[in-house]
Chain A
Amino acid sequence: MTDRGLFRSAGFRFGAIYALLLGLSATALALFLWWATAGLLDRQTEAAINADAQGLSERWAEGGLPSLIVTIEDRLAQNVDDDAIYFLADRAMHRVAGNLERWPPNVSTPGPLYEIQVMRAGIKSLANVQRFDLPGGFHLLIGRDVQVRAQLRGLLTDALLWAILVVGLMATIGALVVRNLFRRTLANISATTSAIASGDLAKRVRLTGRGDEFDQVAEVINDMLDRITRLMDGVRQVSNAIAHDLRTPITRARTRLEDAAIHAQTPDDLRAAIERATMDLDGIVGVFQALLRISEIEAGTRRSAFTRVDIAPMLGEVEELYGALAEEQGIALVVVAAREVPAYGDKALIHQAIANLVDNAVKFSPSGGTVRVTASTLGKVEITVTDEGPGIPASERARATERFYRGESARSTPGSGLGLSLVAAVANLHGGELRLEDNNPGLRAVLVLPNPEDPAPRAAALQSKHDFI
């Protein structure tokens, strides 16, 4: 896989997304931890100060200044943690009671919570304080020493910062791992497809056997490659066929013309030779047309012409067309079908397929034999044509639908060896099949078409059986 810049690589993108998601979740977790610890401590301090203020203001209301002073001193004496801070000052900000030496200079307005440096018993400390103004020009400062809490908060901050660093590192490593995993998985598919692009059509994507999404993609790709290979084989078969099977009639026509040019004695000889050569050429054109029609059918473009069709009248017409021929050759042509045989497909193609089967049967049936055409509609539509001719040996039946196949017994009869290929192509196009069986004696050809009640059988068959993405 070539590296086309870091930012255009999907592997990098997936890695980056992984890192981003990890970073986001880690940050969210850190924020929650912060809120649950440091934030909680801050809120507790604020609540304690509020409770104190409540209590002291009740004292003030009950007993005035003396009561307040006593209460402050009581509280200071009872304060086990030694974290309470009280300071009561008069109008001139001089100390009346409390455990601070003087009013802290920054605390100028009542209301907000200040975080200030205080000197307590000669030791510098950190405190949260709030100012309350009392009637009579007194000022009250209530606070809590938060030195220990601030230290705790510092520790927490440090820990979280370290955690972010670790998370960043983990995210980077994780991103690299994700990217490499992604690349390795794709490398399998990529290696296969580039091998195919350079001509090795036998390569297939290796399945991991886990049946995951990548396996499903691999399966779809393998299915596609199989189909391409089949089509290529078809093309190769046709070119081989053209090379070998058309060479004979072309040679014959060419020989006739050349022979006539050299040896013809009279204009009539010449004309006769040319006429025969023209007939040979017409035969070649006919083969070409049949080949092209088969390729056209196999390409699947005719599927747009599918409609509901009734096969019964087609059978009638085929019987009508071939009946005279059969009768002349002493063959009984028997057609047995329901009044209506509904199917779904291309009318002209189904018609031609049936005509080809009957054509074959009449051609190979011995005089006095019976050609039987039946149609059944039990679920699938089955059109069966049987004859009492030589049939096709079991070993050759699989090859009988190949282009230009001609059985041993068919060598002496006219025909191009494309009739059954066309029927098979029509069957495939409709999502059905052509079955060749033994009729003891003779051939039993069954053209199977899907149930017309399932109006898009082929479309469904074409759809992927995988439902990912």
Chain B
Amino acid sequence: MRILVVEDDKDVAGFVVRGLREAGHVVEHADNGRDGLFMAASESFDAVILDRMLPGGIDGLKILETLRAQKNAVPVLILSAMAEVDDRVKGLKAGSDDYLTKPFAFAELLARVEALNRRGKGEGPVTKLVVEDLELDLLSRQVKRAGQKIDLQPREFRLLEYLMRHAGQVVTRTMLLEGVWDYHFDPQTNVIDVHVSRLRQKVDKPFPTGLIHTVRNAGYMLRAEQP
């Protein structure tokens, strides 16, 4: 992915840029609002990571609004220390695709940015998700693995659907809470782990290979076994 990072804090920016490059992405960096807007508007990116409070007279929201006014639909993730509910709502209303508050775990940022990429491509009307021998039919709401039918509860179905839509990408617990349960707060207990482990019981346990993997310090990933 080609990613633009607009962030004025040197340490945070350096860390993010290095991390994204290590994950195999091409990264450009702007350390003020003016350059950020110029680069975002004149070049083509797969995703933009945008800080809200920026020097240079143009803040993150202004950049976002300007881009959207120009019909630029590049996926944008706002990365901000402004963490109140209203701030988040304001950011999403201005046209951002995701909102992550500082301080953040890099794994969370990476997972969310990579998830943006998939979303940005506009997958069209997909009716069937397939990963290796696992099939999920969105119309008949049936799940099969190796031709064998698997019975899932409605929420387990949505959990599996979310994991399959992001197959090959890390999905964090927060993303699952937001995407599957529509919870925008962290429960104090590890409820997500319980749900994932139940899903595993049905999807992975009866079969020789596991598809749902735990990614340490980050979350989960559904992917085909690497050869």
Chain A interface residues (CB < 8 Å from chain B): 275, 278, 281-282, 285-286, 289, 292-293, 296, 301-302, 317, 320-322, 324-325, 328, 348, 351-352, 355-356, 359, 362-363, 414-416, 419
**Residues of B close to A320: CB separation below 8 A:** 155
**Other-chain contact of B188, A292, A302, A351, A416 (Cβ < 8 Å):** A416
Q: Which of B171-190 contact A (CB under 8 A)?
A: 181, 183-190
**Other-chain contact of B187, A281, A285, A301, A321 (Cβ < 8 Å):** A321
Taking a contact as CB atoms under 8 Å apart, the answer to whether A325 and B191 are in contact is yes
**Residues of A close to B105: CB separation below 8 A:** 278, 282
Taking a contact as CB atoms under 8 Å apart, the answer to whether A296 and B85 are in contact is yes
Name the residue in B85, B86, B103, B155 with the highest tally of chain A Cβ atoms < 10 Å from its Cβ: B85
In this complex, how many residues of chain B approach chain A with their Cβ under 8 Å: the count is 22
Chain B interface residues (CB < 8 Å from chain A): 83-86, 101, 103, 105, 155, 181, 183-191, 194-195, 198, 217
Taking a contact as CB atoms under 8 Å apart, the answer to whether B103 and A324 are in contact is no
What's the minimum C-beta distance from B83 to chain A, rounded to whole angstroms? 7
Taking a contact as CB atoms under 8 Å apart, the answer to whether B85 and A359 are in contact is no
Given contacts A275-B217, A302-B85, contact A317 B188 (CB under 8 A): no
Taking a contact as CB atoms under 8 Å apart, the answer to whether B191 and A322 are in contact is yes
With A and B bound together, what is the CA distance between A355 and B187 in angstroms? Answer: 8
Q: Is the interface of A mostly helix, strand, loop or mixed?
A: helix
Taking a contact as CB atoms under 8 Å apart, the answer to whether A324 and B195 are in contact is yes
Supply 20 further A-B pairs (C-beta < 8 A) apart from A321-B195, A324-B194.
A275-B217, A278-B105, A282-B105, A285-B103, A289-B83, A289-B186, A293-B185, A302-B85, A321-B181, A321-B183, A324-B198, A325-B190, A325-B191, A328-B194, A348-B85, A348-B185, A351-B183, A356-B188, A363-B189, A414-B188
**Other-chain contact of A292, B84, B155, B189, B217 (Cβ < 8 Å):** B84
Among residues of B, the one whose C-beta sits closest to the C-beta of A275 is: B217
Taking a contact as CB atoms under 8 Å apart, the answer to whether B183 and A359 are in contact is no
**Residues of B close to A419: CB separation below 8 A:** 188
**Residues of B close to A322: CB separation below 8 A:** 191
With A and B bound together, what is the CA distance between A415 and B195 in angstroms? Answer: 20
**Residues of A close to B190: CB separation below 8 A:** 325
Taking a contact as CB atoms under 8 Å apart, the answer to whether B184 and A348 are in contact is yes
Taking a contact as CB atoms under 8 Å apart, the answer to whether B189 and A296 are in contact is no
Given contacts A275-B217, A292-B83, A292-B84, contact A325 B194 (CB under 8 A): yes
**Residues of B close to A363: CB separation below 8 A:** 188-189
**Residues of A close to B189: CB separation below 8 A:** 325, 359, 362-363, 414
With A and B bound together, what is the CA distance between A279 and B179 in angstroms? Answer: 24
Taking a contact as CB atoms under 8 Å apart, the answer to whether B195 and A355 are in contact is no
Among residues of A, the one whose C-beta sits closest to the C-beta of B186 is: A286
Given contacts A292-B84, A296-B85, A302-B85, contact A415 B188 (CB under 8 A): yes
Taking a contact as CB atoms under 8 Å apart, the answer to whether B191 and A321 are in contact is yes
**Residues of A close to B191: CB separation below 8 A:** 321-322, 324-325
**Residues of B close to A281: CB separation below 8 A:** 103
